[in-house]
Amino acid sequence: MAFDRFFRELAKKGHHVTVINNYIEEPPPENMTYIDLSYKRERKIVMPLVSDFDSLGPHYARWINFHRHYESSPASTIEDCENLLQNEFVKEFLTKKYQYDVIFVEQFMCDCGLAFAAAYFNAPIIGFTSHTLLPWSYSRLGLPFDFSSEAFYFSNAGVHPNLFYKIESLLAYLLMKSVEKSTLRIIENVFKKHAPEVNLHMEDVTKNMKMMFVYQHYSVTGARIMSPQILEVGGLHIDKQKPIPKNIEDFLSSAEHGAIFFSFGSNLNADTMSPYKKQQFLDAFNKLPYKIIWKIENITLPAGNNNKILTSPWLPQRDILCHPKVIGFISHGGMLSLSEAAHCATPLITMPFFGDQYSNVAAIEDAGLGVTLSFDQVTSDLLVDAIHRITSPKMQKMVKKIHDLWHDRPMNVLDSAIYWTEYVARHRDAPPSPPTKQSTWFQKSLIDVYSVLLSFIGCPQ
């Protein structure tokens, strides 16, 4: 969880922190209370197999990714809201009538948590997301979304989209805004069913957030439209570096030419890669002088590879990436992985599969933090070429510059997040939003102004 370290640090500072989610910790740290949303929950999220992407081209994969979000959103909203309101631990929690100084609500595809916070508590709300600021969140903060330069969540166009990508982003944005409107109505109906005493107007609720903490930093994700109530917290999850296990340290210490770290994260099981694709990776690794650390669950390495390739189902990723012998990172392009790569000055080869990974990898190419391959097109020769590119002196120098910009901030990112949390708690308010937050689309479009000007132009002499 991207914000777990942040909540723990608030608790260490003496704040009492209650976390309502699906991932509880027993026993909880001091000053922390967990409310388990996974209790008696039937829905299980099934992740795709890596082999599903063997012949799935990047354009088709992106639209399947979009369609999954678009199609599943209404049903998942109903399930999420009913689970939240019917959960036995949540019901017990509400009977205690606790009051809070600040409430954090995750911002993604469902606003049940936002509705819950607004319905039952009188406290300022801060939104947070483990992504960049999502396109459909801009209007909630009074900001315009610029299709000509802003990287869209589902797109790999980057910050210089061509006409095709701008049309694609506009259509996707309009579809997602229609989904947003329908899910807001769904939330109101679920609350009417299970909490009839609550009167919610969700379009007003969505504009009541005081701040938004977004998982981005301009050194990696580029310059974006900002306002005072948005805080960039890219890297917030990254804690102090720890010593790596002895077997990994011994393996790396003998890497005369350096090492490459390979992980597709915690949601993709690399073992589900097809035998053909596994062989492409193995063939590429055998053509190179570097040692390989590969996060994979089950694999039998060919004879002679055990001294060159170290495999494990779990690895301390950030600590390995920051090891001086690690000079490259093969990744799925998740935001936390990109953040750790920038933090450690480790260039990337990214292969996006779903979620925000397409826009993430476009951002790192624009920034110069790495290169991208489409998984369906991966061959040993393409891999060798990509590894040569990220290990080149030019790329290593560029990534060191990004690393320096990433770290050179007015305040440590954790301290900054805590400061602004306590600021909102003290004042029950935050830096002002743009006045356009309360404007209608008609007012923002200046149609009335253009109409008057055109009437003057059209007047006869």
The pLDDT of residue 59 is above 70: yes
Residue 203 three-state SS: helix
Report pLDDT digits (tens) over 403-454.
999 999 999 999 999 999 999 999 998 888 777 777 777 777 788 888 888 8
Q: How many CB atoms lie within 10 A of CB 228?
A: 11
By mean pLDDT, which of 47-61, 104-118, 206-220, 390-404 is the weakest? Answer: 47-61
Residues 6+ apart with CB under 8 A from 180: 136
Residue 281 three-state SS: helix
What's the per-residue H, E or C state across 207-275?
CCEEEEEECCCHHHHCCCCCCCCEEECCCCCCCCCCCCCHHHHHHHHCCCCCEEEEECCCCCCHHHCCH
**Which band of pLDDT confidence, cut at 50, 70 and 90, is reported for residue 304?**
low
| Antiparallel, parallel or unpaired: β 309-312 and 259-263 | unpaired
47-64 mean pLDDT: 80
State residue 173 phi and psi, 5-degree precision. -60, -45
The pLDDT of residue 116 is above 90: yes
309-324 mean pLDDT: 95
Question: Could you give the CA distance from residue 248 to residue 261 in angstroms, rounded to a whole number?
Answer: 11
**Rounded to two decimals, what is the model's pTM?**
0.91
Domains of the chain: 4-238+411-434 (3.40.50), 246-407 (3.40.50.2000)
- The pLDDT of residue 238 is 95
Highest average pLDDT, of 58-72, 132-146, 318-332, comes from 318-332
State residue 410 phi and psi, 5-degree precision. -60, -30
228-236 mean pLDDT: 95
The pLDDT of residue 342 is above 70: yes
Does residue 27 have a cis peptide bond before it, meaning omega lies within 30 degrees of 0?
A: yes
By mean pLDDT, which of 51-60, 183-192, 388-397, 407-416 is the weakest? Answer: 51-60
**Which band of pLDDT confidence, cut at 50, 70 and 90, is reported for residue 374?**
very high
Question: Could you give the CA distance from residue 18 to residue 11 in angstroms, rounded to a whole number?
Answer: 9
- The pLDDT of residue 348 is 97
- The pLDDT of residue 169 is 83
- The pLDDT of residue 38 is 85
Q: What angle do CA 219, 220, 222 make, to 5 degrees?
A: 75
> What is the average pLDDT score of the chain?
90
Highest average pLDDT, of 34-48, 218-232, 376-390, comes from 376-390
Percent of the chain with pLDDT over 70: 97
- The pLDDT of residue 458 is 64
By mean pLDDT, which of 1-15, 46-60, 132-146, 237-251 is the weakest? Answer: 46-60
By mean pLDDT, which of 125-134, 172-181, 289-298, 318-327 is the weakest? Answer: 172-181
State residue 105 phi and psi, 5-degree precision. -130, 125
Percent of the chain with pLDDT over 90: 61
The pLDDT of residue 167 is above 70: yes
Higher pLDDT, 341 or 131: 341
Question: Could you give the CA distance from residue 100 to residue 322 in angstroms, rounded to a whole number?
Answer: 38
The secondary structure element, H or E, covering residue 92 is: helix 88-95
- The pLDDT of residue 213 is 97
Q: Are 50 and 272 in contact (CB under 8 A)?
A: yes
The pLDDT of residue 303 is above 80: no
Report pLDDT digits (tens) over 320-332.
999 999 999 999 9
Question: Could you give the CA distance from residue 357 to residue 362 in angstroms, rounded to a whole number?
Answer: 9
Question: Could you give the CA distance from residue 350 to residue 340 in angstroms, rounded to a whole number?
Answer: 14
What tokens does 147 get? 């299709």
Cα–Cα nearest to 343, from 234, 214, 231:
234
DSSP notation for 111-142: -HHHHHHHHH--S-EEEEESSSPPGGGTGGGT
- The pLDDT of residue 461 is 58
By mean pLDDT, which of 144-158, 288-302, 305-319, 424-438 is the weakest? Answer: 144-158
Cα–Cα nearest to 211, from 100, 128, 115:
128
240-252 mean pLDDT: 94
Residue 104 three-state SS: strand
DSSP β-bridge partners for residue 18 = 33
